[in-house]
Amino acid sequence: MRNHRHGRREFLNLTGAGIAALAGGAWPVAVMAADGQDTDLVVFNAKVYTVDSRAPKVEAFAVKAGRFTAVGTTAEMKALTGKGTQTFDAKQMTIVPGFIDCHNHAPGEVLLYEVLVGNPYVVEFVTIDSIVEKLRSKAAQTPPGTWVEGYFFDDTKVKDNRLLNVHDLDKVSKDHPVVVQHRGGHTSFYNSKAFAMADINRNTPNPPGGTYDRDANGDLNGRVTDRARAPFSRAGKRPSYTADQALKRTREGLAFISKQFVRYGVTSVHHEGGDLSALQDVRTRGELLHRVSYESNGRVLEAMIGAGIQTGFGDEWIRLGATSEHTVDGSFSERTMALSTPYPGVTPPYKGNVTETQAELNAWIERVHRAGIQVNCHANGDVAIDMVLTAVERAQKLFPRADARPKITHCTQVNDDLVRRIKATGTVPAAFTTYAYYNPDKFKYYGEEMMRHCMAYRSFLDAGIVAAAGSDFSPGPFDPRMAIQGMVTRTGWDGKTWGANQRISVEEALRVNTLNGAYNSHEEAIKGSITPGKLADFVVLSDDLFTVGKEKIKDLQIVRTVVGGSTVYQA
C-alpha cells in the first residue's frame, strides 16, 4: 500500500498496487485531492488523439488523482509540473484513450485451465490431427465416462480444409464423451460416445432452434447447432470442484484475462455475467487491471429486479451495466443466424435459428425495461433484429423511459428500415469488430450482397447511431488494433475485401472503440476520451495509427496501457 500512503499512484513503474489502493480506499479521489496541489503526472511531446472534438489533437496532458486535469501544448502542461509531479516524455509516440470492448465473455478460466484447440488471439491455422492429439492426451488423464472438452475451435482456421467430424473425434476416445466447442459458442462437435450417452441417433428429429447435422447418407456427422445441444449437457460426468477450488479457478481466470486485456490496450470491458463476488475479490487483491461494466443474468439479474437495483449502480471499477445478451437467434460466424432469405447455396433451404418466440421476448424486455435496467439482446440476422426492435418499441410505448439505450449485441445484418428503427428507439448496437479482419474465410457463406449489410458501421454512423465495439471474445479476438484495421479496410487476413461500402475512417473507428463504448454503458461523462475531468485511461502506441498505413494498424505496438493514471501494462 506504499502508493496509497504517498497519496499518489504510480505511472512510471508498472504496478497493480495503485489499483489495489484505489479499490480499497474509501474516498480515494478526495484523499488525494486534499493531499497537495501538485499535478501527479504530465505527459508531453506526444501525438495525442483525444477523441474530444473540442481539442482533437494535442501534445500533452496532465493527470491528478486518476483523472485528466488539463490538455494542451507541451509548454502549457510543463508549466503545471511541481515537485511531486512525475513527467513522461512520449518522444512523439501516439496516445489514444483506453479502448472499450462492449461485448466480451472474458473466459479467463478456459484460457488458463482448458484444452485450447485453436488460437484465441490471432489468426492461426491448425490441423485436425493436432486437435485429436491434444484431446487424446487429455483423455489419458480423464476417467472414462467423463467429458473431454476442447475449446477455441474455428472451422475455417483448419489446414485440412474440411469440417471436423464424428470420426475424427472417435479417434480421441471410444470410452469418453468428447466435445469440441466452436469458439463462436453456437455449434459443437461430438464423438459417437457422446451421442450414445445423450441418446441421440440418426432417427432423432431436429428440435426447434437447433440441428443434428448429417452426412450424405443421413448419418450424424458430429456437428450440432444451438438448442439441439441441450441433451448433451445432461449426459456424462464433468469434473467437479469444491467451492474453494471453483472460487480459486474463477479468481485466477479473471486475473489472467485482465492482464490480457491491458496487454492489448483494452481498459474497459463489458463482461457477460460471471461470478460477481469473485470479480470483487480480484479487485480487492489489486489484480483487476481493467474497468468492468458487469452485464448480469440469472440470479444476479433477478436479485437486481427484486431489490430495485438499476443499471448504473457501482463505481468506476465495477458497475452494473446492461443485462447480458439475451439470445434471440444463432450465430453469424457459425452460420446459424436468422435470415429473412435462405442461406445462399444451402440445401435443404435454411434460414437460421430463431431461439425465442416474439411473445417470450416481449415479456422479457418489458420486465427488464420496467425495472430500470438496460436491456441487451443478442440478435445477428435481420429477422432477430426486427423481433428485438418490435419488443423494444412495444416496451417503450407502454413504459416510456428517457435515454434507456436498449442494447443490441452484434446487430449484424441490417437494412434501411431496421437502421431507421434503431435510431428512433435510441438503440445502441455493439457490433463485431475484429471479424472483418479475422473471419473473411466465412463471408463466402453469405456472399457480397449480404455482406454489404453486415457489421454495418458506415450505415450506423451515417444514421447518427452511436455504434460501439463488441469483440464477442471468445468468438472474436479482442485486439482493438485488429478491430480498427478491419473496420477501416474491410479486408481480411487473406487479402479479400467484403462489404467495402461499410468502411469507416480511422477517426471514426477510434471513436467507435473508445467514446462510443463509454456511451454504450451510460459512462460517456467519465471516460472514452482524453478530456479534463475524465478518468485517466489511455494507451501509448509505438506509431501513429492515422499515418502508419491502413494495412499496418494491427501491427502497431502497444507500448504502455494506463488506467486511472497508473501503468498496468508496459511492453
Identify which of residues 212 and 478 has a Cβ nearer to Zn ion in the complex: 478
Question: Can you tell me the distance from the alpha carbon of 76 to that of 130, in angstroms, rounded to the nearest whole number?
Answer: 58
Please, which residue, 8 or 410, has the CB nearer to Zn ion? 410
Under rule CB under 5 A, residue 472 binds Zn ion: yes
The window from 139-147, 399-407, 469-477, 548-556 that contacts Zn ion (CB under 5 A) reads 469-477
Q: 59 or 472, CB closer to Zn ion?
A: 472
Which window, 74-82, 330-338, 379-387, 464-472, contacts Zn ion (CB under 5 A)?
464-472
Cell 481480411 locates to: 492
Binding piece for Zn ion, criterion CB under 5 A, among 22-30, 341-349, 422-430, 468-476: 468-476
DSSP H helical ranges for 67-191 = 74-78, 108-113, 128-140, 166-170
Nearer Cβ to Zn ion (472/508): 472
Residue (220 or 411) nearer to Zn ion, CB: 411
Nearest approach, Cβ of residue 185 and Zn ion (Å): 7
Interface region with Zn ion, contact rule CB under 5 A, candidates 126-134, 316-324, 357-365, 471-479: 471-479
> What is the DSSP pairing of strand 468-469 with strand 41-44?
unpaired
> Distance between terminal CA atoms of the chain?
24
> Of 239, 243, 245, 257, which Cα lies nearest the Cα of 112?
257
Which residue is at the shortest CB distance from Zn ion?
A: 472
Per the document, the length of the chain is 571
Q: Residue 348: is the preceding peptide bond cis (ω within 30°)?
A: yes
Q: Which stretch, 206-214, 220-228, 435-443, 472-480, contacts Zn ion (CB under 5 A)?
A: 472-480
In terms of DSSP H, where are the helices of 513-560? 515-520
Backbone angles phi, psi at 122, to 5 degrees: -135, 170
Q: How buried is 571 (Cβ within 10 angstroms: 0-12 exposed, 13-18 middle, 19+ buried)? A: exposed
Residue 147: Cβ-neighbour burial (10 angstroms; 0-12, 13-18, 19+) = buried
If the CB atoms of residues 386 and 472 are measured against Zn ion, the closer one turns out to be 472
C-alpha 540/C-alpha 88 separation (Å) is 11
The residue range among 7-15, 35-43, 353-361, 467-475 that interacts with Zn ion, by the rule CB under 5 A, is: 467-475
Q: How far is the CB of 273 from Zn ion (least distance, A)?
A: 10
Q: Which helix (H) or strand (E) holds 423?
A: helix 416-424
| DSSP strands (E only) in 227-265 | none
Report the nearest approach of Zn ion to the CB of residue 404 (Å): 21
Q: How far is the CB of 399 from Zn ion (least distance, A)?
A: 27
| 334 is an interface residue for Zn ion by CB under 5 A | no
Q: What does each C-alpha distance from 540 to 42, 229, 244, 569 come to in angstroms?
A: 14, 44, 39, 10
Residue type, 315: D
Which of 43, 39, 57, 41 has its CA nearest to residue 89?
Answer: 43
Number of residues that bind Zn ion (CB under 5 A): 1
- Compute the least distance from the CB of residue 324 to Zn ion, in Å: 8
Pick between residue 472 and residue 537 the one whose CB is nearest to Zn ion.
472
Which residues 6+ apart lie within 8 Å of 389 measured at CB? 418, 421, 422, 425, 427
Stretch that binds Zn ion, among 68-76, 259-267, 415-423, 465-473 (CB under 5 A): 465-473
Report, in Å, the least distance between residue 110 CB and Zn ion: 14
Residue 168 or 472: which CB sits closer to Zn ion?
Answer: 472
Contact letters for Zn ion, residues 415-454 (x by CB under 5 A): ----------------------------------------
Q: Can residue 226 be called a binding residue for Zn ion (CB under 5 A)? A: no
Nearest to Zn ion of 165, 380 (CB atom): 380
Rounded distance between C-alpha atoms, residue 301 and residue 322, angstroms: 10
Tell the smallest beta-carbon distance from residue 521 to Zn ion (Å): 16
Closest CB to Zn ion among residues 16, 210: 210
Q: Nearest approach, Cβ of 541 to Zn ion (angstroms)?
A: 28
**Angle 207-209-214 from CA coordinates, rounded to 5°:** 60
Q: Which is nearer to Zn ion, 186 or 511 (CB)?
A: 186
Which SS3 state, helix, strand or coil, does residue 255 take?
Answer: helix
Q: How near is the Cβ of 76 to Zn ion at its closest, in Å?
A: 44
Least separation in angstroms between residue 190's CB and Zn ion is 22
Provide, rounded to whole angstroms, the least separation between the CB of residue 439 and Zn ion: 15
Give the nearer residue to Zn ion in terms of CB position, either 165 or 474: 474
Cβ 105 to Zn ion, closest distance in Å?
6
What the block records as the C-alpha cell of 442 is 466465412
Question: Which residues of the shown chain bind Zn ion in the complex (CB under 5 A)?
Answer: 472
